Chains A and B, each alone.
Chain A
Amino acid sequence: MFNASRFELARKRRGITQKELAYKIGISERSISLYEKGNQQPEQKTLQKIAQELGFPEIFFLGENIEKLSPEKVSFRASTKMSAKLRDMALNTGIIAFMLNEWIEEHFDIPSPNIPDLRGEMPPEHAADILRSQWKLGEQPIKNIIALLELKGVRVFSLAIDAKEVDAFSTWHNGKPFIFLNTYKSAERCRFDATHELGHLVLHSSGKAQGIEIEREADAFASAFLMPQRAVLANAPHVITLQNLIDYKSYWMVSIAALNYRLHQLNLTSDWIYRTLCIQMSELGYRTHEPEPITHETSQVLKKIFDALWKEGISKMNIAKELGLDPNEIEDLTFGRLNSVLNQTSNRPALRVIK
Chain B
Amino acid sequence: MLKTVMQRNSTQTQSKHELDIFIEAMQKFLVELVYTSYLSTMNCTKHSAIVEKATLMYFTMVRHLRDLLRPEGWFPLNENGTEVTYNQNFIFNSQKHTSCLIVKQGNKSTGIETEFPSNKNKFGKNILPYVEENKKCFSNFESLPPSQLSLFTSNNSDDQKSNTIIILLLYYVDKKASEIRFELLIPTEVETRYRKNNLSSQYFISECKIRYIFDPISLDDWKGLNLNSPQPPEPEIDVPVYKRK
Q: Once bound together, how far apart are the Cα atoms of A305 and B244, in whole Å?
A: 11
CB 8 Å contact bits of B225-241 with A (1 = contact, 0 = none): 00110010010111111
Q: Once bound together, how far apart are the Cα atoms of A140 and B236, in whole Å?
A: 13
Inter-chain contact A147/B68, CB cutoff 8 Å: no
Which partner residue on chain B sits nearest A145 by CB separation? B237
Inter-chain contact A107/B237, CB cutoff 8 Å: no
List CB contacts (< 8 Å) of B189-245 with chain A. Answer: 227-228, 231, 234, 236-244
Inter-chain contact B239/A116, CB cutoff 8 Å: no
Inter-chain contact A304/B239, CB cutoff 8 Å: yes
Inter-chain contact A118/B244, CB cutoff 8 Å: no
Which partner residue on chain B sits nearest A305 by CB separation? B241
Q: Once bound together, how far apart are the Cα atoms of A238 and B8, in whole Å?
A: 50
What distance in Å separates the Cβ of A117 from its nearest Cβ neighbour in chain B?
A: 7
Residues of B near A300 (CB, < 8 A) are: 237-239, 241
What distance in Å separates the Cβ of A187 from its nearest Cβ neighbour in chain B?
A: 17
Residues of A near B241 (CB, < 8 A) are: 108-110, 300-301, 304-305, 308
* Number of A residues, CB within 8 Å of B: 33
Inter-chain contact B243/A108, CB cutoff 8 Å: yes
Inter-chain contact A133/B237, CB cutoff 8 Å: no
**How many inter-chain residue pairs (CB < 8 Å) link A and B?**
67
Residues of A near B244 (CB, < 8 A) are: 106-109
Which partner residue on chain B sits nearest A136 by CB separation? B32
Q: Once bound together, how far apart are the Cα atoms of A143 and B242, in whole Å?
A: 23
Q: Once bound together, how far apart are the Cα atoms of A120 and B242, in whole Å?
A: 36
What distance in Å separates the Cβ of A103 from its nearest Cβ neighbour in chain B?
A: 12
What distance in Å separates the Cβ of A299 from its nearest Cβ neighbour in chain B?
A: 9
Inter-chain contact B239/A134, CB cutoff 8 Å: no
Inter-chain contact B239/A111, CB cutoff 8 Å: yes
Q: Once bound together, how far apart are the Cα atoms of A154 and B242, in whole Å?
A: 16
Inter-chain contact B239/A138, CB cutoff 8 Å: no
Known contacts A117-B71, A133-B67: A107-B243 contact under CB 8 Å? yes
Residues of A near B75 (CB, < 8 A) are: 120
Q: Tell yes or no: A319 within 8 A of B by CB.
A: no
Q: Tell yes or no: A150 within 8 A of B by CB.
A: yes
CB 8 Å contact bits of A97-115 with B (1 = contact, 0 = none): 0000000001111110000
CB 8 Å contact bits of A189-219 with B (1 = contact, 0 = none): 0000000000000000000000000000000
Inter-chain contact A111/B234, CB cutoff 8 Å: no
Inter-chain contact B243/A133, CB cutoff 8 Å: no
Inter-chain contact A147/B239, CB cutoff 8 Å: yes
Known contacts A116-B71, A134-B71, A136-B32: A150-B242 contact under CB 8 Å? no
Q: Once bound together, how far apart are the Cα atoms of A323 and B38, in whole Å?
A: 55
What distance in Å separates the Cβ of A109 from its nearest Cβ neighbour in chain B?
A: 4
Residues of A near B227 (CB, < 8 A) are: 234
Inter-chain contact A108/B242, CB cutoff 8 Å: yes
What distance in Å separates the Cβ of A102 from its nearest Cβ neighbour in chain B?
A: 13
Q: Once bound together, how far apart are the Cα atoms of A108 and B239, in whole Å?
A: 13
What distance in Å separates the Cβ of B65 from its nearest Cβ neighbour in chain A?
A: 10
What distance in Å separates the Cβ of A294 from its nearest Cβ neighbour in chain B?
A: 15
List CB contacts (< 8 Å) of A134-185 with chain B. Answer: 134, 136, 138, 140-144, 147-148, 150-151
Residue of A111, A143, A304 near B236 (CB, 8 A) is: A143
Residues of B near A144 (CB, < 8 A) are: 236-237
Known contacts A107-B244, A108-B244: A122-B70 contact under CB 8 Å? yes
CB 8 Å contact bits of A276-314 with B (1 = contact, 0 = none): 000000000000000000000000110011001000000
Interface residues, chain A, with chain B CB atoms under 8 Å away: 106-111, 116-118, 120, 122, 126, 129-130, 133-134, 136, 138, 140-144, 147-148, 150-151, 234, 300-301, 304-305, 308
21 A-B contact pairs sorted by A residue (CB < 8 Å): A108-B241, A109-B242, A109-B244, A110-B240, A118-B71, A122-B70, A126-B67, A129-B67, A130-B70, A133-B67, A134-B68, A136-B32, A140-B234, A142-B234, A144-B237, A147-B237, A151-B237, A151-B239, A304-B241, A305-B241, A308-B241
